[in-house]
Structure 1
Amino acid sequence: MTDEGCSAVTSALESNPSHLRELNLSWNELGDSGVKNLSDLLMKPQFKMEKLHLYRCSITKKQCLILTSALKSNPSHLRELDLSGNQIENTGVNHLCDVLKDSHCKLKRLRLRCCFMTLEGCSALTSALKSNPSHLRELNLSWNELGDSGVKNLSDLLMNPQCKLKKLDLCGCRIREKQCLILTSALKSNPSHLRELDLSENTLSDSGLKNLSELLMNPQCKLEKLDLCLCSITEKQCLILTSALKSNPSHLKELNLSGNKIKNTGVNHLCDILKDSHCKLERLSLNDCGFTDVAALTQSLTNIKALQFLKELDLRYNVIRDSKQQLTDVLRDSNCNLR
């Protein structure tokens, strides 16, 4: 759909605006007139939109100003906004901040994945969220370059006792050791709300991973999903991580360690978690982890408790040809619930 189609859709919605709660126009080229007509619709007092998805709609900085001005005039209903994949840059993010600062704004989910934001935009965004932090539950800033000050400001938000964020996505944000330390320290100070954390495709290094492990050991930490895909985790670091998870295993449901060369040693450490009777892991991803021996893994999985909960197991791109029979035996087990 182009601007012509978008204008027709919004015009039709204007004639009967009061019932619509969710609108997804993702992957369409809305253009200036399309965004303008959509904005006119959003400004209508009768319009009570709760979810607006505009993923990859080629929205520019200028169009973002028009859109956010409309949202600012009628902010109290919106709960979910996805502007991912649009080149709105820091300028567009700054316009969005005017909406977020409004005391009437009760946004719960904000997705700004790959919006060409840098540390300046991240600092403005987190500053706006700090002024109105109690409603937000999901924040996706993946594939934006946050920088030192951006991570520092995000950490200040996470430390705020009023912040009750449940899901944080920071995939591919070029987070390094020092930044990971600041971020995980913030999460440690306010750990009880977070349920999903995505730090994939960042270089955590020794101290960053150690600090993350200290967060996971905290009895107040109730993390259910942890994504550390392609984080350059070594066998030694895997031991630190799994030791932490073993000390507080009952909440974690999904763990992704794909693309880390943890090898046989790392997988063996991971088995200590699977053997724990409190472990309730449902999804385990070990894609391309450089291991060859699954004997310890299959032995752990034959633990009735582990097989009762585990639904997905990803072992792709590991050379395990000699161990296939052991995996077959696991699949034949009557307690196996793998999908």
Structure 2
Amino acid sequence: MNNNNLQDSGVKLLCTGLKNIKCKLEILRLSWCCMTDEGCSDVTSALKSNPSHLRDLDLSWNNLGNTGVKHLCAVLKDSHCKLERLSLSYCSITEKQSLILTSALKSNPSHLRELNLSVNNLGNTGVKHLCAVLKDPHCKLERLRLRDCDMTDEGCSDVTSALKSNPSHLRELDLSRNNLGDSGVKNLSDLLMNPQFKLEKLHLYRCSITEKQSLILTSALKSNPSHLRDLDLSRNKLGNSGVKNLSDLLMNPQFKLEKLHLFDCGITDVSSLTQSLTNSKALQFLKVLDLRNIEIGDSKQRLRDELRDSNCVLSI
């Protein structure tokens, strides 16, 4: 029921059905339904009375409030709760509320496979508590999205360090619009080099990554290249040397990247990228190449020519 003007009154009627003992709903999506904390509280309270069937809950773009967070945590703590996917992006979750939420997840971590807390004010403190969940050997999270969570390099370092202690399950990581810093880049690079780590999707859009840091990241990918399929480094200052290092990575026959996003990365020369696409099997796999908002002059046409007969969509 995403993107409907249910408001609190409409949600209250829905809750009658959710409380029914005959209700065996597995997927409930109420993103952007114009709920206030009252409506969110009603939904999460209703789920408390019948928690065992739900597998997928999306309350994004609604204001949970303190009562909504409290009731949701009661659901998450329930041993009958086997929720696999939880999306709470744009829910105005505060740092204090995130502590309550992550404490609830700690008490019942084994079922959750996807967690989206993007665009909430978790801060470094909220993220630090989440790290206790990520470190738990019972945690088998496959997709973690923490885009724009008000983290500094300290928080990013804590997350990537926590993942190092339990690396084998994660397949998707989004830390976009947070400042990785040197320590975050180092810990992430250590993680990427771990042969147990089989990440398929890495989004680091606008993470203040410098040219020097990008070299460390791509060098780490070189040592464990076979799993990654989607890489977004847009709005970071990679520069020509960063792209050159990425181009060397594309030459590796084990690297089977399908999507590469380098929008607005301070690139002026793509000759190394064009050459690597010409002289490798990368175009057998690459489907999307985003080079928008860069000044590459005459080399633009050569790159277009190279990709003309491929299945790759070029944005330039």
User: Structures share a fold, TM > 0.5?
Assistant: yes
In structure 2, what is the equivalent of residue 284 of structure 1?
A: 314
Deviation at 1:245, TM superposition (A): 2.0
CA distance in 1 between counterparts of 2:72 and 2:274 reads 49
Q: Structure 2 matches for 1:127-142, cutoff 5 A? A: 127-142=161-176
Deviation at 1:68, TM superposition (A): 0.5
CA distance in 2 between counterparts of 1:38 and 1:204 reads 41
CA distance in 2 between counterparts of 1:206 and 1:191 reads 21
Contact 2:84 2:114 in 1 (8 A): yes
1:112-158: CA deviations, max 9, x gaps?
00011111111111111011000000000000011111111110010
CA distance in 2 between counterparts of 1:267 and 1:42 reads 54
Q: Which structure has the greater CA radius of gyration?
A: 1
Contact 1:136 1:164 in 2 (8 A): yes
Contact 1:181 1:211 in 2 (8 A): yes
In structure 1, what is the equivalent of residue 113 of structure 2?
A: 79
Contact 1:239 1:266 in 2 (8 A): no
Deviation at 1:243, TM superposition (A): 1.1
| Matched position secondary structure for 1:57 | coil
For structure 1, list consecutive stretches of 5 or more residues without a partner in the other structure.
Answer: 287-339
CA distance in 1 between counterparts of 2:299 and 2:94 reads 49
1:69-97: CA deviations, max 9, x gaps?
11111111101001100011111110100
Which of 253, 257, 277 does residue 245 from structure 1 map onto?
A: 277
| Matched position secondary structure for 1:28 | coil
Q: Give the CA RMSD over aligned residues.
A: 1.1
Amino acid at match of 2:106: K
Amino acid at match of 1:242: T
- The number of residue pairs the alignment matches comes to 280
Contact 2:90 2:118 in 1 (8 A): yes
For structure 2, list consecutive stretches of 5 or more residues without a partner in the other structure.
Answer: 1-34
Contact 1:100 1:132 in 2 (8 A): yes
In structure 1, what is the equivalent of residue 9 of structure 2?
A: none
Normalised to the residue count of structure 1, the TM-score between the two structures is 0.81
Q: Structure 2 matches for 1:1-339, cutoff 5 A? A: 1-234=35-268, 237-246=269-278, 247-248=280-281, 249-275=283-309, 279-281=310-312, 283-286=313-316
Deviation at 1:100, TM superposition (A): 0.3
In structure 2, what is the equivalent of residue 309 of structure 1?
A: none
Deviation at 1:273, TM superposition (A): 3.4
Deviation at 1:270, TM superposition (A): 3.4
CA distance in 1 between counterparts of 2:67 and 2:298 reads 57
| Matched position secondary structure for 1:100 | helix
| Matched position secondary structure for 1:139 | strand
Amino acid at match of 2:248: E
Contact 1:30 1:57 in 2 (8 A): yes
Normalised to the residue count of structure 2, the TM-score between the two structures is 0.86
